[in-house]
């Protein structure tokens, strides 16, 4: 019969540390970043109330943070995701739409959400081109 590996309770602290170090050697930063994006999208789905049975978990601020986190990390791993990148971007878009519908008036937009147009100078109200000094 094959010998079973020792259970964590049967290992010394030094053996546990060595096993942990061995696992860390195999983990790639890219894998952690991808898992982070997926976790944030899943959590954002809950905080948006879009996931079934989570209507009572709506939290626009938490949703905004999840969106901002995904928008920060996704570009770092998008090229390695291949066709899956589109699916993740689609989920992000759904979360951004949910945030736009749920956010209280006057709250900060999630990253990537268009801001209200700013007053860009005297040409905007009149429709004429503004030329400095004239």
Q: What 3-state class would DSSP assign to 69?
A: helix
**pLDDT of 72:** 97
Q: What is the pLDDT of residue 124?
A: 46
Q: What is the pLDDT along the chain (134 residues), one digit of tens a residue?
A: 566 666 667 788 898 899 889 998 999 999 999 999 999 999 999 999 998 899 899 999 999 999 999 999 999 999 999 999 999 999 999 999 999 999 877 776 665 554 444 455 554 455 555 555 55
| Two structure tokens written together for 21 | 């170090």
Angle ∠(80,81,86) on CA atoms, nearest 5:
135
The C-alpha atoms of residue 59 and residue 133 are separated, in whole angstroms, by: 49
Give the CA count within 13 Å in the CB-facing half-sphere of 107: 18
Q: How far is 11 from 14, CA to CA, in rounded Å?
A: 8
| Per-residue DSSP letter, 55 | G
The Cα 40–Cα 97 span in angstroms is 16
Cβ–Cβ < 8 Å for 129, 123: yes
The span from the CA of 36 to the CA of 56, in Å, is 24
> What was the pLDDT predicted at 104?
78
Q: What is the predicted pLDDT for the residue at 30?
A: 94
């Amino acid at each position: 019969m094959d010998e079973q590996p020792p259970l964590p309770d049967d290992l010394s602290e030094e053996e546990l540390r060595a096993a942990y170090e061995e696992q860390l050697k195999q983990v790639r930063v890219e894998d952690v970043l991808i898992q982070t994006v997926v976790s944030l999208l899943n959590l954002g789905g809950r905080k948006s109330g879009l996931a079934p049975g989570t209507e009572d978990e709506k939290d626009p601020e938490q949703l905004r943070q999840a969106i901002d986190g995904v928008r920060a990390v996704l570009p770092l791993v998008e090229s390695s995701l291949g066709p899956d990148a589109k699916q993740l971007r689609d989920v992000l878009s759904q979360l951004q739409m949910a945030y736009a519908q749920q956010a209280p008036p006057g709250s900060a937009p999630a990253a990537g959400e268009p801001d209200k147009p700013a007053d860009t100078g005297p040409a905007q109200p009149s429709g004429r081109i503004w030329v400095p000094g004239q």
